[in-house]
Structure 1
Amino acid sequence: MSVPQPPEPIPGARLLFSLDPAVSHLNHGSFGAVPIGVQRAQQRLRDEMEANPLRFFAQGLIDRITHTRRHLADFLGADADGTALVANATTGVAVVLQSLGLRPGDEVLTTDHGYGAVGFSVARECRRTGAVTRALRVPLAATDEEVVQVVRAGLRPGRTRLLVVDQLTSATARLFPVAAIVAVAREHGVPVLVDAAHAPGMLPTAVRSIGADFWVGNLHKWGYAPRGTAVLVVAPPWRDRVEPLVVSWEQESGFPGRVEWQATMDYTSWLAAPVGLFTLRSLGVDRIRTHNATLAAYGQRVVGDALGVSPTDLPDPGGPGVAMRIVPLPRGVATTLDAARALRTRIAERLAAEVAVMAWGGQGWLRLCGQVYNRTDEYERLAVRLPPLLAQR
């Protein structure tokens, strides 16, 4: 089978970013990259804040946050009155967990594809409350129907107080059928929290159509917003029960204000976020999505070929538009979290390439992303240089 054709570069897109040109930035999914125009918009807001802090915080800031929230919610197809701005998806998860009122004997159900920090948050809340957590094993190559069946079989009505499921997994770059999962959970009376950290900007997401009780997503990855910009969307029955991690002056205003207002936090990342969406729209949202997904597939195939991986053994993300792909590493390489971190550092230092290295299912995986600032030769260069580096172990 031939290597898939890479997409045509989007003219001028690379110049929109201030990334170090001496490094191949192939891991947009971890921390994103903020366009220069968005950086400048945030700096202007910071200058305004520092010119007169009292006026910035005391005169109209809540209205500006509300306006920003409505803009972002509209882009995501979410109810603005049920959407709160938060620092990141993990923060949103923590807000939900501590608002549930878990008790001894309750259960929080996850999958083995879940994000590590979310798993830590679930474990801590269970320790604090006496609840327990359980992870469902979902095979990497499972079909959507099989994923739903795994979830259906794993639910324990009356005991499972929350199901946490990823829309697009971080460790395995796998798209889950979250709307179908939510429907099954609802049949059993189990609330669902969808961790959609990678969805905003990458996937054509209409949050309302998913129907989850809780949905969290980052705008600072694929939405070109400054870091520290995410949303927590809450269904109407839960809004009065959601409490912030820190109580401040908007506590009596209810959700979402009580979650958003954290006193003297720097809100400029939120206020500049619409400029990120403007950048996205200026380049063409569908155009970017197609470009990035096609480029990630090309990179997966090129690097996979170099590592001797058959095309049939390269994991399929389970849907179009996914701009992250994983490649299995040789047997015994990066099979633990510490080993994966060490290999990522070696690749960064010796190959001048930023990638993600994951340890999942007893196997090491290389995760590659596609973004408008990437070029085909960056994946090709990695493909040439990575095998000798791995051979040195």
Structure 2
Amino acid sequence: MTVPQPPEPLPGARLLFSLDPSVSHLNHGSFGAVPIAVQRAQQRLRDEMEANPLRFFTQGLVDRIAHARRHLATFLGADPDGTALVGNATAGVAVVLQSLGLRPGEEVLTTDHGYGAVAFSVERECQRTGAVSRTLPVPLDATDEEIVEIVRAGLRPGRTRLLIVDQITSPTARLFPAAAIVGVARERGVPVLVDAAHAPGMLPASVASIGADFWVGNLHKWAYAPRGTAALVVAEPWRERIQPLVVSWEQHSGFPARVEWQATLDYTAWLAAPVGLFTLRTLGLDRVRAHNAALAAYGQRVVGDALGVAPSHLPEPGGPAVAMRLIPLPPGLATTLEAAQALRARIAERLAAEVSVAAWNGRGWLRLCGQVYNTADEYDRLAIRLPTLLAQG
């Protein structure tokens, strides 16, 4: 079967990044890549901070953070007054969990597509409070309607205190029907936290249109912000209940300042984040999204073909808009977290290719991403060399 043609490269896009050209960076979804212009903007801010730390931290910094927040929240389609900047999506989840006041016997409901660190956070908070964690299994090939019904059947009104669902899942690149899930949970009086770590920059969906009680997303992945930039969006009825993980001098200012201000934190990433959005818009939002999704689809097909995976067995759980794709690895490979990490490191070392390898539901999965700095030949080279490496065990 003919492999679909890759998209036309975006002229000059590769030159916007300082990535090592000897490595194929096919895993943008893990840590992103910061454009050079954004790096320089952040460095100027760091120079300003180091030139006079006292002035930087005490003269208008809270207002500068609020200005950056308003810019980022507007891009996300969120209420700036209900948005707090945090270090990453996992930190935002932790803020919500410890603000709920969970009690013994109550439960936090998740799915088996959730991010590992979020699962650890849920586990820790349940151990601390006496609440319990319960996980709903969701088949990779489930339709949106089936996912909604699985969630509907899994909710326990009066006991389920929080439902956590991903907008785009990390291990399986699955696009969940977040708005429909929120609607079902609201009918049963269950608050929902949407983990949208991969959504900002990749998807055009508005946060407000999802309607979740809590929504958290990283801007340092697909929105070109410096690392350590994420947004926690909280619905109005919950804002006064949200408490920071660490109390600071802005504690009495209420949400969001009490969450954002952490004394001597390096805030330059947040202040430089709007430059990332400027870079994204300069390239063209729609053009970048279409390019990245099409390139990821090309990479999935060419590598899948090389591994002998029939096109019908290549999952497309995210749909055509998601710039991350999965390829099932041969049975017996990378079936545990440790084995997956070891295989990823071996691919990086021997093939000079950065990819994501995950163990999910007893199977090893290779995840490939598409980004404007990638080219079709990078996936072609991986397709040529990967089967030999995997055959070596």
Name the residue aligned to 1:206.
Answer: 206
TM-score normalised according to structure 1 size: 1.00
RMSD across aligned positions (CA): 0.5
Name the residue aligned to 1:331.
Answer: 331
- Which letter maps to 1:29? G
Cα deviations across residues 288-342 of structure 1 (Å, max 9, x unaligned)? 0000000000000000000000000000134331000010000000000000000
Q: CA deviation at 1:161?
A: 0.1
Name the residue aligned to 2:269.
Answer: 269
Cα distance change, pair 20–318 in 1 and its aligned pair in 2 (3 A): closer
CA distance in 1, matches of 2:239, 2:319: 32
- Which letter maps to 1:179? A
Name the residue aligned to 1:283.
Answer: 283
Name the residue aligned to 2:86.
Answer: 86
CA distance in 2, matches of 1:123, 1:318: 27
Name the residue aligned to 1:217.
Answer: 217
Q: What is the identity percentage for the equivalent residue pairs of Structure 1 and Structure 2?
A: 82
Question: What SS does the corresponding residue of 1:157 show, helix, strand or coil?
Answer: coil
- Which letter maps to 1:286? D
Relative to structure 2, which stretch is displaced further, 54-63 or 313-322? Answer: 313-322
- Which letter maps to 1:221? K
Cα deviations across residues 200-221 of structure 1 (Å, max 9, x unaligned)? 0000120000000000000000
CA distance in 2, matches of 1:340, 1:319: 25
CA distance in 2, matches of 1:316, 1:356: 17
Question: What SS does the corresponding residue of 2:359 show, helix, strand or coil?
Answer: strand
CA distance in 2, matches of 1:196, 1:205: 11
Q: CA deviation at 1:2?
A: 1.5
CA contact (8 A) 2:213 2:234 kept: yes
Q: CA deviation at 1:96?
A: 0.1
- Count the aligned residue pairs: 393
CA distance in 2, matches of 1:246, 1:5: 50
Cα deviations across residues 257-293 of structure 1 (Å, max 9, x unaligned)? 0000000000000000000000000000000000000
CA distance in 1, matches of 2:390, 2:3: 23
Name the residue aligned to 2:59.
Answer: 59
The reply on whether 1:173 has 2:173 as its aligned counterpart is: yes
Which structure 1 segments of 5+ residues have no match? Answer: none
Name the residue aligned to 1:144.
Answer: 144
CA contact (8 A) 2:168 2:318 kept: no
CA contact (8 A) 2:243 2:258 kept: yes
CA distance in 2, matches of 1:201, 1:56: 30
Name the residue aligned to 1:123.
Answer: 123
Structure 1 stretches of at least 4 aligned residues deviating more than 2 Å after TM superposition:
317-320
- Which letter maps to 1:313? H
Name the residue aligned to 1:160.
Answer: 160
CA distance in 1, matches of 2:62, 2:259: 12
Question: What SS does the corresponding residue of 1:121 show, helix, strand or coil?
Answer: helix
Question: What SS does the corresponding residue of 1:161 show, helix, strand or coil?
Answer: strand
- Which letter maps to 2:136? L
CA distance in 2, matches of 1:43, 1:204: 29
Name the residue aligned to 1:69.
Answer: 69
The reply on whether 1:10 has 2:7 as its aligned counterpart is: no
CA contact (8 A) 2:113 2:172 kept: yes
Name the residue aligned to 2:248.
Answer: 248
TM-score normalised according to structure 2 size: 1.00
CA contact (8 A) 2:140 2:317 kept: no
The reply on whether 1:293 has 2:275 as its aligned counterpart is: no
The reply on whether 1:258 has 2:258 as its aligned counterpart is: yes
The reply on whether 1:372 has 2:365 as its aligned counterpart is: no
Question: What SS does the corresponding residue of 2:126 show, helix, strand or coil?
Answer: helix
Name the residue aligned to 2:133.
Answer: 133
CA distance in 2, matches of 1:113, 1:217: 16
Which structure 2 segments of 5+ residues have no match? Answer: none
CA distance in 2, matches of 1:153, 1:113: 17
Cα deviations across residues 151-201 of structure 1 (Å, max 9, x unaligned)? 000000000000000000000000000000000000000000000000000
- Which letter maps to 2:273? A
- Which letter maps to 1:332? G
Question: What SS does the corresponding residue of 2:249 show, helix, strand or coil?
Answer: coil
CA distance in 1, matches of 2:240, 2:285: 35
Question: What SS does the corresponding residue of 2:11 show, helix, strand or coil?
Answer: coil
Q: CA deviation at 1:4?
A: 1.0
Name the residue aligned to 2:96.
Answer: 96
Name the residue aligned to 2:232.
Answer: 232
CA distance in 2, matches of 1:240, 1:328: 45
- Which letter maps to 1:94? A
Name the residue aligned to 2:109.
Answer: 109
Name the residue aligned to 1:357.
Answer: 357
